[in-house]
Amino acid sequence: MSERRTKRPKISRGEDDYLPGNITEIELHNFMTFSYLKCKPGSRLNLVIGPNGSGKSSIVCAIALGLGGDPQILGRAGSVGAYVKRGEESGHIKITLRGDSREEQICITRKIDTSNKSEWLLNGKTVPKKDIIESVQRFNIQINNLTQFLPQDKVCEFAKLTPVDLLRATENAVGDPQLPMQHDALIEKSGQLARLQRAVDTNKGVLNQLKAQHAEQERDVERVRQREELLTQVELMKKKLPWLKYDMKKADYMESKRQEADAKRKFDEAAKMLNDLKVVIGDKKGNGGLPPPPAEACARLSAVHPGSTSMQNSDLLGDSEMELYLKH
C-alpha cells in the first residue's frame, strides 16, 4: 500500500497576527460611489456595515477588480470603465497584501478609465496583468471561485451550482494544488473501472454464450462419434458377412459330407449283405431249397433305398429266386 500523503503544513500567523496573502490596506480613488477611500482590514473576520447605498458592495467590487478579476465575475457592468465614478474620467484601486513576512508588503494598483483601459502596477512598477495574476495565485487567492469570493449579485449563481461544481470549487479554494489533480485522477480511474466492469460483463456474456455453443458442439461431436462407431461396425459387419456365409456353407457341407459317409457306410453294409444273400441263393439253387430272406437284410435294403418297393426288391433277387421264396 502506498504511503499516506502527509498533510499540508499549517501556516502560522506572524507577530502582526496576519497570514500571508491577507489584505492589509485598500485605497480607492474615483471608484463607483467613492471619491477617495482608505481602509485597513483587520487580520481576522471583517464586516462592512452600513445603510443601503453607502458603498458596501463598492468595496467588494474593488477587491475583485484590484486583484486581477474581470468585471463579468461581479454580475454587474460588463466593462471596467463603468466602475469609474460618474463625472470622472479615471480612477484607481490600490490593494496591499501581506507577504510571507511582516516586512514584505505587496502593493497592487489598477488604474482604470472610462475608455475601458487598465494599467497594472506591482509595488509601483508597471507590469503586465499576468504578473499580477501570478502574485495573487502565489497566495491561492481565487477571485473566480464562488466558494472563496462570492459577490452579492452572484449569490443566485452560487445556489445553482451542482454538487460536482461545488466540490470542484471547494477543492480549488482549499489551496492544495494536488486535490484537483487527484480528483481528476480518481475520475479517470473510476471511468476506467466502469469501462473494465462493462468489459467484464460483456466477456461474461460472451463466455456464457461460448459455453452454450461448446455444450451444443459437444452433443454434435458425440452424435458424430456415435455415427462413426456405427459406420465402423457396419464396415466390420460387411467384412464379416462373407465369413459368416462361408461358415454356414461349410457347416452345411460338413453335414452333407457326414450324411454321405453314413449313407455310403449303410450302402456298403447292404451291398455286403446282398452279396452274402446271393451266395446263399446260389448255394440253395444248387441244393434245391431256398430259405426266406432275412428280415434284417430287407430292412437294410430299404434303408439304403427308402423309395424301393417289394417289386424293386424282387428285381434285385430275380424272378426265379422270388418264386423259390414263395414256394417255401
pLDDT in tens, the chain (328 residues): 444 444 555 566 767 888 888 999 999 999 988 999 999 998 888 888 888 888 888 898 899 899 988 888 887 777 889 999 999 999 999 999 998 888 889 999 999 999 999 999 999 999 999 999 999 988 888 887 777 777 776 677 767 778 888 787 777 766 666 777 888 888 899 999 999 999 999 999 999 999 999 999 999 999 999 999 999 999 999 989 898 899 999 999 999 999 999 999 999 999 999 898 888 888 877 765 555 555 555 555 555 455 444 444 444 444 444 444 444 4
pLDDT at 325: 44
Q: What would the DSSP string read from start to end of 232-297? A: HHHHHHHHHHHHHHHHHHHHHHHHHHHHHHHHHHHHHHHHHHHHHHHHHHHHHHHHT--PPPPHHH
Q: Has domain 23-175 been given CATH number 2.60.40.10?
A: no
Single pTM value for the model? 0.52
Domain ranges of the chain: 23-175, 264-327
For 133-144, b/e burial (b = at least 16 CB within 10 A) is bebbeebbbbbe
Q: What is the DSSP letter of 84?
A: B
Q: Which residues lie below 8 Å from residue 28, measured CB to CB, with a gap of 6+?
A: 34, 36, 37, 38, 58, 59, 62, 91, 92, 93, 94
Three-state SS for 199?
Answer: helix
Q: What would the DSSP string read from start to end of 111-141? A: EEETTS-EEEEETTEE--HHHHHHHHHTTT-
pLDDT at 326: 41
Q: In 49-177, where does DSSP find H-type helix?
A: 56-66, 129-137, 155-159, 163-174
For 229-267, b/e burial (b = at least 16 CB within 10 A) is eeeeeeeeeeeeeeeeeeeeeeeeeeeeeeeeeeeeeee
Q: Report whether 91 contacts 28 (CB < 8 A).
A: yes
Pairing of strands 34-39, 23-31: antiparallel
Q: Report whether 71 contacts 84 (CB < 8 A).
A: no
pLDDT at 194: 93
